[in-house]
Structure 1
Amino acid sequence: MRSVTEHAAAIAALVTARPEQETTLAAAHGRVLARDVIAPRSLPGFDNSAMDGYAVRATDIAGASAANPVTLPVEADIPAGRTDIPQHHAGTAHRIMTGAALPPGADSVIPVERTDGGTTTVRITASTDPGQHIRRNGEDIAKGEIALARGSTLRAPQLGLLAALGYATVPVIPPIRVMVLSTGSELVAPGQALRPGEIYESNSIMLASAAREAGAVAAQLRFVSDDTGDFLATLRAHADDADVFLTSGGVSAGAYEVVKDSLADRGVEFVKVAMQPGMPQGSGTFEGTPIITLPGNPVSALISFEVFVRPALRAAMGYARTGREVVAATLAEDIRSPLGKRQFRRGVLDRATGTVRTIGPPASHYLRWLASSDCLVDIPAATEAIPAGQAVEVWDLSRP
């Protein structure tokens, strides 16, 4: 059997980045910057007031105090946004608002709380030092500096900086387009009536949601019956809209394995991976489009996505963290694992105590327990038993 690491490498080699795109800031949220962004201007772009108050020369109010106030004439108001900034003259004050440009000739701002708030004259009850309460041109970032480096994930602070620098668009690595397709004649869309032997189809919504959580865009294709003609026709109909096909079901060793029957001689390799759950896997290309085929049991499908697909998608989209965060935790119970297979057990992590306990049986159809878990306990293939109190590696599913 192929090891988990070997199969992960095979999947990673299939999924490659799309060419960079120039996109609006609103559409860039969560995307990764495709190249360095250089500041086209300085921030702040001019000396401006950090306070509501009065622009003055520090020497004009030296020694001012509540007992010995200094009164100055107010030459003009300078609200934020005023563009015709007046010259400041010695022995005067300008009433100035936060963010407004400092008038040439002034060297400090006295807060309004240290004055009587006058509009024609102002009584000042404190002194100040040159440069106080002034935001200097370029003190945040200077023109020509790297504002954001290639590989930065664009979230609220980064988008705010880009907007402040005047950028309306930004070059990003675009999301991978994932087409999700479940197979099986027994599948019925949720909401419809079931006949004997039928089950509701759940993998496509689950895997499409997982792809979106990884940063990709995903579409759910209508699931198809166990008919190779229908399956191949569905893939061809959507090839232009997909960077990756992601299927579930039809990859085991029995009869009516539609994915395996359709693709085994078309550039897709089907293998057994030494893991539990999720042993039957497949990967390759279909008429030039990468295709990853996952097992059909829901738990196997989603854990296979976490182990193989999520890291490949995120690497292709430029994210620094591709897989889940792995933390060490103390096992709260004795557990056993099949020797020779890397087992991923559903678990609940107690972050306060640093302990983890497994929940539910290890079989691949117990979807309820997967929905109740917040982590996966990663048990090495060479391990048959782990006693309580031993440290284990845990994949934290609660964090990106």
Structure 2
Amino acid sequence: MEEIDSGEGYIGWTEALQLIGTTITPNPAVVTNLEGAVGQVASEDLTSKLSCPDHATSLKDGYAVVSDDIVEASSDRPVSLRCIGEAFAGVPFSGSIPSGSCVHITAGAYIPDGANAVCAGEFCSPLATAGTVSIRANARPGRNILPVGGDVTRGELLVRRGERITAPHLAVLAAGGFTEVPVYRPSAVMIIAIGTEIAALGDRLLPGQLYASNLAQCMGWLRQYGLPVRTRVVPDDGPAIQGVLAEALRSDIDFIITSGGAWGSLRDLVLANLGQIGWRQIFYRLRMGPGKGTAFGVATRPMGEPLPSGCRPEVPVMCLPGGPPSNEMAFLQLALPAIMRQSGLCTRLFPEIRAVLTEPLQGRGRDWTQFFRVSLASGPDGVLLATPSTAVGVGSGSAPRRGQRLTEMAKSLALARLPEGVEFLDKGCAVTVQILSAQALASPRGPA
């Protein structure tokens, strides 16, 4: 019979997030050039410095006209206007358009004074009479004109403080007059994989060893968010663990992640050695599955040594379990949100949607928060369906089947959550799903 962990003395996932939120504050702000701002977090509200365009411009190649002159124009009853000049993008027409006249204009050119519409070129034909154009369609006031501020208005809020700057933001920031932006300094992270059985990526495997796959996944997530990462692999040896931790605390590292060695067995040495170098524990062990064996606290940098530039005297430390599903879930639900908060992010890290279960989900207990790997597909009438993973320990419903953990983790790019107070959801029930990657929603197919 499977042993049931009551979770006595543990804290809930929501409480853990609250403790992280009250412990971690954003890094100091820095200024970066616009092209270097992608992926970083704005440290203040960014409002447009100017309007774009700063003058009404044409959206079409054609003729700038006075709308009233062609109000009756049609293919059967064309209207002839005198063309008095040309306007090109970057080369405006210098005069004013009187009634009965027009100006040949290209897309992006300033609208000449006096004109209030543009008739598209496909409805206009130059006549044999020099300087005369036949207009075969009307154009109401404002037709084919981008007004002042049509893209960006001076004083308009472009990016909120605490919002992550994306590639599309660069266009609007550039149009709004920004060449550099204030952002929170991204956190520099040290990942320390602990275990004599762990080999660094690329090293030769010794008998009984395996590669540091947990470290690789955590590093990949951090790189995906544009954060600087350093890694170390350390055996189950107290002095070696202390040495690497002390090295990290003397450096400009902002956040430390340890992987493995934190549960409490004879060779789980992380917490004891953190205590030796000045560790203030904030929580240890959660009513969260997978990932219950997670610890969080802060370590103090060595006294009497100058602080690295821009760094603070205490460094947050998250100790993750060694098992791949537990390691991954603790990282995604606790460590990564904490690091991104330190990097200034105040919005939700992963979007959440509602989906309908194709199989039941059985949690650990009403006081636990349980996460399950799921794949998504579109069902009848466009309903989004969530199918739990088959891998044991990853989240597999009420009747788990054995599968390859890492393979299933790589395939399933969404997580269903059973919150505290909900122990069971039957097939057909709605469930909250976190989207880890947009690929989770790509080309969804219904069940065969």
The TM tier, using the shorter chain, reads 0.7 to 0.9
Q: In 1, Cα distance between the equivalents of 2:70 and 2:288?
A: 77
Looking at structure 2, the residues matched to 154 and 259 of structure 1 have their Cα atoms a distance apart, in angstroms, of: 36
Contact preservation (8 Å) 1:312, 1:322: no
In the alignment, residue 364 of structure 2 is paired with which amino acid? S
Hey, what does 1:250 align to over in structure 2? Answer: 261
Tell me if the contact between 1:186 and 1:199 (Cα under 8 Å) persists in the aligned partners: yes
Structure 1 residues 168-247: aligned runs within 5 Å: 168-213=179-224, 215=225, 217-239=227-249, 240-247=251-258
TM superposition shift of 1:78: 1.1
Q: 3-state DSSP class of the match of 2:108?
A: coil
Matches within 5 A, 1:56-135: 56-61=65-70, 63-83=72-92, 85-117=94-126, 120-135=131-146
What per-residue deviation string (whole Å, max 9, x for no partner) do you get for residues 101-142 of structure 1? 122233332222222146843233334444433322235544
- Equivalent-residue separation in structure 2 for 1:290 and 1:104 (angstroms): 62
Please give the per-residue CA displacement for 1:278-316, whole angstroms capped at 9, x wherever unaligned: 232222222221111111122211111122123323334
What corresponds to 1:45 in structure 2?
54
Q: Which residue of 2 aligns with 1:284?
A: 297
Counterpart-to-counterpart distance in 1, 2:328 and 2:270: 18
Q: Give me the CA root mean square deviation.
A: 3.1
Moved more, 374-383 or 267-276: 374-383
The question of whether the paired residues in 2 share the 8 Å contact of 1:183 and 1:258 is answered with: no
The answer as to 2:377 corresponding to 1:369 is: no
- In structure 2, relative to structure 1, the CA distance for the partners of 1:233 and 1:85 (3 Å cut) is farther
1:377, 1:60 → 2: CA distance?
63
1:255/1:216 Cα in 2 relative to 1: closer, same or farther (>3 Å)? farther
The SS at the match of 1:332 is coil
Deviation at 1:245, TM superposition (A): 0.5
**Partner of 1:300 in structure 2?**
326
Counterpart of 1:38 in structure 2: which amino acid?
T
Q: Provide the aligned length of Structure 1 versus Structure 2.
A: 399
CA shift for structure 1 position 386: 5.4
- In the alignment, is residue 20 of structure 1 matched against residue 29 of structure 2? yes
Report the alpha carbon displacement of residue 94 of structure 1 after superposing the two structures with TM.
1.6
Give the conservation status (yes or no) of the 8 Å contact 2:288–2:368: yes
- Aligned AA (1:283): F
The residue number in structure 1 matching 2:348 is: 321
Question: Does the CA contact (< 8 Å) of 1:12 and 1:311 recur in 2?
Answer: no
Measure how far apart 1:45 and its partner are: 0.7
- CA distance in structure 2 between the partners assigned to 1:145 and 1:204 by the alignment: 42
2:270 alignment partner, one of 259, 262, 274 = 259
Structure-to-structure mapping, 1:354-393, within 5 angstroms: 354-362=385-393, 366-379=405-418, 387-393=426-432
Say if 1:216 and 1:313, in contact at 8 Å, map to a contact too: no
Matching of residues 326-345 of structure 1 within 5 Å = 327-330=354-357, 332-333=359-360, 335=362, 337=364, 341-345=368-372
Higher mean C-alpha deviation, range 67-76 or range 42-51? 67-76
| Structure 2, unaligned runs of 5 or more | 1-8, 302-313, 396-403, 441-448
Distance (whole Å) between structure 2 residues aligned to residue 335 and residue 174 of structure 1: 42
CA drift of 1:100 comes to 0.7
What's 2:304 paired with? none
Q: Equivalent residues in 2 for 1:141-156 (5 A)?
A: 141-156=152-167
Say which SS state the counterpart of residue 77 (structure 1) adopts. Answer: strand
Distance 2:91 2:189 in 1: 50
What letter corresponds to residue 322 of structure 1 in structure 2?
L
- The DSSP-based 3-state class of the residue aligned with 2:35 is coil
Which amino acid is 1:398 matched to? S
Structure 1 position 30 matched with structure 2 position 39: yes
CA shift digits 1:25-53 (9 cap, x unpaired): 22222333322223322232112222211
C-alpha distance in structure 2 between counterparts of 1:385 and 1:167, whole Å? 51
Moved more, 164-173 or 133-142: 133-142
Q: Which amino acid aligns with 2:117?
A: S
User: CA distance change for structure 1 residues 141 and 189 in 2, over 3 Å: closer, same or farther?
Assistant: closer
Q: 1:96 to 1:290 in 2, by over 3 A?
A: same
Change (3 A) 1:130 1:342: closer
Name the residue aligned to 2:437: 398
Unaligned residue ranges in structure 1 (runs of 5+): none
Between stretches 235-244 and 379-388, larger displacement belongs to: 379-388
Measured after TM superposition, the shift of residue 177 of structure 1 is 2.2
Residues 327, 396 of structure 1: 8 Å contact kept: no
